[in-house]
Chain A
Amino acid sequence: MNIRIGRRTALASSLAAIASPAVLRAQSDPIRLATLTPLTGAGGSYGPSMAKVAASVVEEVNKAGGVLGRRVVLVSEDDQTNPEAAVRAARKLIDVDKVAAIMGTWASSVTTAVAPLCWENKTFLCTVSGADSITLLPHQGFLIRTQPNSTLQVTRLAEFILSLGAKKVFTMIPQTPFTQSTFDILNKVLPTGGATHQSLIYDDKKNTYRTEVDQALRTSPDVILANGYTPDTVVLLKDVYRAGFKGKIIGFAYSINQKLVDQIGQNEVVEGVYTFAPSPAEGSAAFDRVKALSGLTNPDPYTSQVYDHINMVLLSIAVAKEASGVAIKDNIRKVTQGGGKSVDNAVDGLKAIAAGEKVDYTGASGPCDFDDKGDILDCKFRYEQIKSGKFTLVKVA
């Protein structure tokens, strides 16, 4: 028998031979995602557990068969709580690792620097930064945040300060993307409760704030809002104590935390200080999963939020049937809101999606519903007070 292979057949079959592994390869190519968290720097106490919880979720998902039959690879980079270092790391994640999404940027200055790289390269960005300005950037939908914006946070904070009976409030804050908006909101809300507000911006790299504290105390405040990060707040609170301030002090829980108390090392310096933070959904099954995955008995809000980031991103990819920034952007709200089967983890959600069900993700940080700008719609806050060196719950509201 004469077997004749025409030129066209030969060409087609050899092309097919060359192309088919490529098709197969594309299908088995891993889905590449990244965390960019502050493993070092002022946010260094949060970044490692943030990266870890995301890695644990990915491990679970891979064990359960991956997403769209593909393995998920999670790259972790350190933003050093520093915009310059963060931009270098983001460039590497986008250009070299070619990730579809970056999750977990913490400091507002870092997110502000990284966001343009992300939207220009169609890479999706999930952040825990609070500055109002972030969701106002022209991000074309390539950004969501699970942290309530500063308008929501500072408004609630101002209401709490008023509930303490404050008449003269003094804010001490370093230069940050949320400094001006914080002043604006406090100046608006505090007078409605009969309190006056004055403020001072300090240099967060000084090793003493005696002169700044003097300036604050000349105004005889009854409440001082210490609104910096941990390293500078350590110095500030020591100097406030030395100056003999007897009023109330309040600050954000991301800076006034157990590490700060340990570093100051003297309980009376921080006795009675109030802290304030967006609260994770304590008691929810998702929050319990974060506890198990992170190994923390009381996971911080950021670790809870990054758990939500990775779950939402994986579910969006599954719904889109495509692992790209654009696919995540177009589908993230389809898996987080609008009704459907309520899920709190990617493995269950992926099964439901594979079965053709619509899912509605509710996470460890809250309901995870977003408006068009990328801000969350709802969140609870947690108020604590330091008593004998320990944080005691005042209320969650």
Chain B
Amino acid sequence: MSLFLQALVNGLVSGALLAVPAIGFTAMFAVLRFPNFSVSGIATLGAFAGYLAYGAGLQMVGSLAIAFAVAGAAGLFFDKTAHLPLVKQGALPAAIASIATGLILENLVRLSFGNEPRGYDRPIARDIRFDDIRVSPQQLETMSLAIVIMLAVFAALAFTRIGKAMRASADNPELAALKGIRPQRVATLASFVGMGLVGVGGMLLGLDSSIDPLTGTRILLSLFAAAVLGGLGSAPGAVLGAVLIGIAEELSVLVVGSPYRAAVGFVAILLMLTVRPRGLLGERAY
């Protein structure tokens, strides 16, 4: 039983970390209307940008900000130059182009940093025990950071003008445009913030383990599954989806063994698309 509870706690933590890039992914889908798979490369880029900033002596929050800015800027650049011009032909060409972008970014990181995994120079501490359940102080720290970032995103979406404009644009682009919301500005913002969040997510996921050019690729399936599970386009759905995927992946270790973990994401996507294609919370439910 305690093994089950421990797996639940572990899943909750990895789910919380996965939620940050999942929000970014789903927010971009809501506004730009195509699944941007370059998140794999962008997450890696963010992780490395944060790594360099942290190594240069910046504090955690500063490094996260750098990861956000670099990933956001790179994501925006590729969206403007490569993906968005293709959206007019449909979501599929843009999605395929974004896979290519992800590969390019991954290999740029490989060329610059090599394949060696690198670790953030953070102290590794023994876990804190609550009865039979263990939690690491670092996990708590990264999870708190993830939660603060998510709250900030939700507050911005709910209370700021630009956040409301983004939601309106996602809900009904034509109506939003009629109301004087400029779709270009909203798209630019969605690109930048969405990719920024993905970059931050890459860094958060790397903090406890290590980073290498495949950091982003490893989370791509879980990330996509989380977004589909919650409902593509729904930010709260992405959080719910990420937590569920995180927990399911950890529990699967106990039930079917760790090598089958990758199947969890596929099964989740398959089930959701079969039973409830709109996702748990439905599309565009903010």
User: Contact residues of A with B, CB < 8 Å?
Assistant: 40-41, 44-45, 174-175, 200-203, 205-208, 210-212, 214-215, 218, 230-231, 234-235, 238, 241-244, 259, 263-266, 269
Contact = CB atoms under 8 A, between A and B. Distances in A.
Given A242-B125, A264-B124, A215 B254 contact: yes
A214 B7 contact: yes
A242 B261 CA distance: 23
Interface string B112-144: 001111110101111101000010100000000
Closest 7 CB pairs of A and B: A207-B209, A202-B258, A203-B258, A40-B115, A210-B10, A231-B117, A235-B209
Contacts, number: 104
A263 B119 contact: yes
Contact of B250 (A174, A202, A211): A211
A214 B261 contact: no
A206 to B, nearest CB: 7
Given A207-B218, A211-B250, 11 more contacts: A44-B115, A174-B259, A200-B257, A201-B258, A202-B253, A205-B214, A205-B218, A210-B250, A235-B210, A265-B121, A266-B123
Given A242-B126, A243-B134, A208 B209 contact: yes
A266 B120 CA distance: 11
A203 B124 contact: no
A200 to B, nearest CB: 7
A144 B249 CA distance: 41
Interface of B: 3, 6-7, 10-11, 14, 110, 114-119, 121, 123-127, 129, 134, 136, 205-206, 208-210, 212, 214-215, 218, 250, 253-254, 257-262
Contact of A212 (B110, B119, B125, B253): B253
B117 A208 contact: no
Contacts of A266: 123-124
A301 B202 CA distance: 36
A215 B124 contact: no
Contacts of B116: 44-45, 259, 263
A262 to B, nearest CB: 9
A40 to B, nearest CB: 4
A263 B7 contact: no
Contacts of B218: 205-207
B200 to A, nearest CB: 15
B234 to A, nearest CB: 26
Contact of A269 (B124, B215, B260, B261): B124
Contacts of B117: 230-231, 234, 263
A234 B124 contact: no
B6 A214 contact: yes
B210 to A, nearest CB: 5
A264 B208 CA distance: 11
B258 A265 contact: no
B259 A203 contact: yes
Given A215-B254, A265-B119, A208 B14 contact: yes
B258 A212 contact: yes
B3 A218 contact: yes
